[in-house]
Chain A
Amino acid sequence: MSRHQFESASSERWSAYHPEQEEVVALRERRGANAGVERRFTLVHAGTWVVAAGLQLMAGTILGTRVVSELTVGVLLLAVLGAVLLGTAWWFDRESRDVGRTAAQRGQAYTIFSGANR
């Protein structure tokens, strides 16, 4: 439904509509939902790096152990690290998009700040 149709269909409601307040409230809610996604993403990444750093500090020699033929634990660790980084990045993008969609389905009106895309 376009904004024009939305305005026509609920003209009575629209007369008592304070767009800036609704926009701010809606965007704050979206911000809150986003913050959760950002927090989880940051925690997973920080945790992964802390584990990798801990292994390098405490168990450096273990990383040289060969697992399969010439492939060592260290090489595998870095490969897993890279996979976690890329995998969670795609998850983060999907979740961030879903936050907006879910909010729209809940029936909240989202418009944009005119100044945000100056």
Chain B
Amino acid sequence: MTAGTAVHAVADTTNAASVVMFLVVVSATLLLCFHFGVNSEGIDDLYVASNSLKPWRNAFALAGDLISILTLLTTTTLVALAGYDGMALAASTVGALAVLLVLARPVRNIGRFTLGDTLDERFGCRSIRVAAAVATLSVAIPLAIVQLTASGRATAALLGLSGTGPAQLCTIFMGTMMVCASALTGMRGNTMLQVVKTVMLFACMGLLFLALMTKMGWSLDRLLADASDRSENPESYFTPGNLHGRDTAGRFDLISMQITVVLGAAVSPHMIMRVKAAEHGASARRSVLYAMTMVGVFCGMIVVLGLGAAAVADGQAGQDFDLQSASALLSLVHSLAADGGGYLLVAMTVSVVFLTSLTVVAALTLSAGAALVHDVWAQGALRGRIAADVELSAMRWVTPVIGTLTVFLSVLAQSWNIQFLPQFVAATAASTILPSLVYALFWKGCTRAGVVWSVYGGLGSCMLLQFFGPQVSGSPRALFPAADFAWFPLSTTGLVSVPVGLAAGWAASRLTSRKRDCGADERYAAVAARAAIDDDRPLTAKG
């Protein structure tokens, strides 16, 4: 059975009840958007929910931010197809939050709303804000395109529609909803949507997990044995190298993928803004800790479901679904739905795919809008001489424009092979945002030029290496399969671009004088002191 027939089979189990349930979820989401859109007050509320989010609520939202449509669909498919390599990717996703755990308190305490605010607090200049905005847009826009494209395909498949046209229509529908959500809700509304999504996601994954394990007779041995038997390489299913190959380049590619995800997945601009929404530093750290635990449980379920998708495949797993359509989870839903409870599983999965895409893309659009309006325009061009309500109304206009542009690009991308974009986005975040944050927050010797060059150096190396990599040309699965100008052997560039970003920042800091940064030492002292603040309670001495 091919991916296409699996899709049609899923469609057979979709009945009116599942469509009605999906529409109920869509309506409830819109109502939530309107409710929180009306209640949104001021610029603080729009960007960071007035720093009012308690740890558990923020943790649900943070977990929702990290669990994107890629984690849900692509990681499951990778586990099913590549065994060990997919499981390593799932472990790396959990590890990504460990990086954010260390950064959470300083990031929360330093800077008001955006990445640009955090970096500017240390150096106080416009070039830093522009660099931060460039890094934010380089991550947020491509990531939103990937999310919308994948969710358009998945929704079309789950509703029984195949081909590029229906996928484009679903992308437009999802995109329109996303534009509404991002235009109407700020951080507070998005948080509520993320909480709803995370709860539904866990319920859906839990149901699928129970159904699968019941089908497997609660035998882990049977699951592992069936999954490896149905794979293309049963003997080597649980060894590294199924995804990128077992030669030297393939092995380093797997390491590069893990490093990139660990260092880049959790420092995306929308997650930086989410951390800033916590009520204080300790709350931010605890949010990340709870989110990490939730993502750990989720990734465990994803691994089991991925193995299950391979185990219950009709023929060989590679013939049932492929990486491009990322349809392993959909194939598993079909198989389990056929055993009973069909419409409920299908409807829940459609709703979860919809909500996952909607919330993450809305958060990304908010962070992209904040980078343009707050960093570049309000604080950069106008140097902060702007009324808060003017900035607020500018955000209300800019966010839908960014959203519409993203939808347009996503519709175009439906006919392209954009498998390289997720890796590019993670590598860009790891090579630009992480080095600049680490230098600005933890290194006294860092200069303004150091931060700027860590951003541009990391971004430049990412773009260059990705362009000349195997995912853009030189292979049948590349963006330009007919052309071959690839000389860089790795499909994920993080192994090289992260050190380049760090080295560029270090070299620029060494080569430029700190005397040019007025009051750099005083600013660093203030930043270091502020970074240590844990919570709002005054801890008074006994004497």
CB distance from A90 to the nearest CB of B (A): 7
Residue B450 at the A interface, CB < 8 A? no
Query: In the bound complex, do residue A116 and residue B533 qualify as a contact, i.e. CB atoms below 8 Å apart?
Result: yes
One digit per residue, 1 when the CB lies within 8 angstroms of any chain A CB and 0 when it does not, for chain B 516-540 equals: 0000000001001111111110111
Which single member of B239, B299, B300, B528 contacts A63 (CB below 8 Å)?
B239
Size band of the interface chain A makes with B: 35 or more
Query: In the bound complex, do residue A78 and residue B534 qualify as a contact, i.e. CB atoms below 8 Å apart?
Result: no
Residue B285 at the A interface, CB < 8 A? yes
Query: In the bound complex, do residue B534 and residue A96 qualify as a contact, i.e. CB atoms below 8 Å apart?
Result: yes
Nearest B-chain residue to A32, judged by Cβ: B532
Which single member of A70, A86, A96, A118 contacts B112 (CB below 8 Å)?
A118
| Complex contacts, B282 vs chain A, CB 8 Å | 96-97
Query: In the bound complex, do residue B529 and residue A23 qualify as a contact, i.e. CB atoms below 8 Å apart?
Result: yes
Nearest A-chain residue to B90, judged by Cβ: A78
Residue A57 at the B interface, CB < 8 A? yes
Which single member of A64, A69, A113, A115 contacts B235 (CB below 8 Å)?
A64
CA distance A11 to B274 in the complex (A): 42
CA distance A45 to B238 in the complex (A): 23
Nearest B-chain residue to A30, judged by Cβ: B532
Q: Contacts A31-B528, A38-B102 given: A6-B540 contact, CB under 8 Å?
A: yes
Which single member of B87, B255, B533, B534 contacts A53 (CB below 8 Å)?
B255
The 3 closest A-B pairs by CB, nearest first: A64-B239, A31-B532, A110-B539
User: Please, could you name 23 A-B residue pairs with CB atoms under 8 Å apart, sorted by A?
Assistant: A24-B525, A27-B530, A38-B102, A41-B98, A53-B255, A64-B235, A71-B224, A74-B87, A74-B238, A75-B84, A75-B224, A78-B87, A78-B88, A89-B293, A92-B101, A93-B285, A100-B534, A100-B535, A104-B540, A107-B542, A110-B538, A113-B530, A117-B536
Q: Interface on B for A, CB 8 Å cutoff?
A: 51, 84, 87-88, 90-91, 94-95, 97-98, 101-102, 105, 109, 112, 220-221, 224-225, 228, 235-241, 246, 251-252, 254-255, 258-259, 262, 280, 282, 285-286, 289, 292-293, 296, 299-300, 525, 528-536, 538-543
Instruction: Known A-B contacts: A56-B254, A93-B101. Give 12 more (CB < 8 A).
Output: A45-B98, A64-B239, A74-B84, A78-B91, A82-B296, A85-B94, A92-B101, A93-B286, A93-B289, A107-B543, A109-B539, A117-B280
